[in-house]
A and B are shown apart, each in its own frame.
Chain A
Amino acid sequence: MSTHSLTKAALRAEGLPRRRAVNRLMELLAWLAAALAVAILGIVVWSVARRGAGALNLDLITKTPVQFSFTPVRQGLANAFAGSLVIVGIATAMALPVAILVAVYLNEFARAGIRTAVSLTLDVLNGVPAIVIGIFVYGLLVVGRGQSAFAGSFALACIMLPLVARSTMEVLALVPSSLREASLALGVPRWRTTLSIVLPQTIGGIVTGTVLAVARVAGETAPLLFVSSLVGTQVSWDPHHALQTVPVAIFELAESPDPADHTRAWAAALVLLLFILVASLGARWLATRSARRLSASR
């Protein structure tokens, strides 16, 4: 309608007040949805912090648990923190090289059909429930051999592999093809171009993806219940034996009849949460930094 009329009556005739009302309503709903998402995280962090702060002290990470004590002794979860460090560390060492090679192959060398098929496989692997991976590793490595931290690392590596491979593929795709062409046009072979020109551009992105994957598996409980849960109370760094981990410790403490254990579970959960928060923020910072570097080189 182009009557060029600017009066209120003309606007009302076009249904403007109703459109305006619908617009406001939808905007409000969208805002509420966003607020809900933030609120859920806020409530989780707040309730964990409120209940766990009391038991949060240095003893928690430096002292080992004391079992079957009838006197109130202060005890920590040093064995769980050490175990988590060992298991996640080995898992990263296993998953990272494989994931980078998978991503490099798919992005730089594979034909389009293979790339689509393998990418889909990675997505499916990413969607496999953690407990299924736990059962798989239990059947593969634990039956007949007994539990070990290695088996736990292998299970976590299976979860990390698709995460790191997918995020590495994304940063590889961001490297401008003009850089590859520049190198190839000099008569440099493709493997050398990938190694010396393409990969250095993606280090920031690979680190980001790895940190996020570490944050994710550090909190995984289900696969470790089968493969690394029959543990001692002493700090051990030996991956040949089952090692306690923070999430499994939280799970066990939460089932304990002792309320003091519950508080410790909350405190451990708070430490885990803080670690994941710091890791995610660190990863974000690295990601923006590497994105800046990439866009500067375009």
Chain B
Amino acid sequence: MQSTAAASTTIERIVKVDTSRQPMPSRERLERIFSIEHLDALYGGKPAIKDISLDVYKNLVTAIIGPSGCGKSTFIRCLNRMNDLIPSFSQTGTIRYHGQDITDAGVDPVAVRRNIGMVFQRPNPFPKSIYDNVAWGMRVLGMKDSLDERVERALTQAALWDEVKDRLKASALSLSGGQQQRLCIARAIAVEPDVVLMDEPASALDPIATAAIEKLMDSLKSEYTFVIVTHNMQQAARVADMTAFFSISRGEEGQRWGELIEYDATEKIFTTPSDKRTEDYVTGRFG
């Protein structure tokens, strides 16, 4: 093994950790929002992720990084019971959200998703007007007072208001991909969730739209808690306070599943990771 100094210079050349974002409060003052213990997720009896245990802290951006197929998306979809929609899916372990296990039989997944919103990999606006995309969820959920102000606030928070304020009645499908994704973020935060899960929100976007989304996550984290899945390490380094690195493990009979390798402050993960596999991944030596 090389000396730590040499290793860290290599890492910094590849991934620059952004220090311009809001600083992370000290670890003792952080409030745990999710407490995940020994989470296994299976599709048709085959494990996709095994034995994931980690805590997600309130008002931070937590990034999940790792190679394709390591179960990042499966993991994040466990957090708001989105995998319930897949018939062959099953899971074991506990996911405590503010102390309550959301995998309990008595927990209503609709209530879980009401508190834990999600933005998907590909922009999926409703085939409605821009205004209705943001307003529909609030209307359905009974947030009917001062709808116009709420729509404007959500679109402003999503850094989209200036671009669409003159054509709120236009179809959301007439927007560009980056605008559609910001509209989806506005739609998600308009219903005032507690946590916003983002499953590779920038993977279909150009660098300018990506930067806009990263900036808005940083400015919104005082109000929300973000968990973001990304295959882009630079993005994790730019936006995340905490970073979890997932990797693929292989069984003797060719099975593959995702595992949590290391979870720590983003600076630590990208400069002085404690696991060799993390270091290989963040320095681009991953095979």
Contacts and interface: CB of A to CB of B under 8 A. Distances in A.
Interface of A: 111-112, 176-190, 192, 196-197, 201, 293, 296-297
A178 B124 contact: yes
Q: Which among A179, A187, A197, A297 has the greatest number of chain B C-beta atoms within 10 A?
A: A187
Q: Does more than half of chain A's interface fall in helix, strand or loop, or is it mixed? A: helix
A188 B82 contact: no
B70 to A, nearest CB: 21
B177 to A, nearest CB: 12
Interface in B186-203: 187-188, 191, 193
B83 to A, nearest CB: 11
7 contacts: A179-B124, A181-B85, A185-B80, A187-B137, A187-B141, A293-B127, A297-B127
Contacts of B87: 111-112
Given A179-B126, A296-B127, A184 B113 contact: yes
Contacts of B8: none
Contacts of A189: 110
Interface size class of B (residues with CB under 8 A): 20 to 34
Contact of B127 (A180, A188, A201): A201
Given A181-B120, A297-B173, A186 B126 contact: no
Interface of B: 80, 82, 85, 87, 110-111, 113-115, 117-118, 120, 122, 124-127, 136-137, 140-141, 173, 184, 187-188, 191, 193
Given A181-B85, A182-B184, A196-B136, A187 B124 contact: no
A180 B118 CA distance: 12
Contacts of A190: 110
A186 B137 contact: yes
B269 to A, nearest CB: 28
A131 B118 CA distance: 54
Central interface residue in A181, A182, A186, A197, by most chain B CB within 10 Å: A186
A185 B118 contact: yes
Contacts of A112: 87
B124 A184 contact: no
B120 A186 contact: no
A124 B111 CA distance: 41
Nearest to A187: B114
Contacts of A201: 127
Contacts of B137: 183, 186-188
Contacts of B127: 179, 201, 293, 296-297
A185 to B, nearest CB: 4
B73 to A, nearest CB: 12
A196 B140 contact: yes
Nearest to A112: B87
Contact of A187 (B113, B120, B125, B173): B113
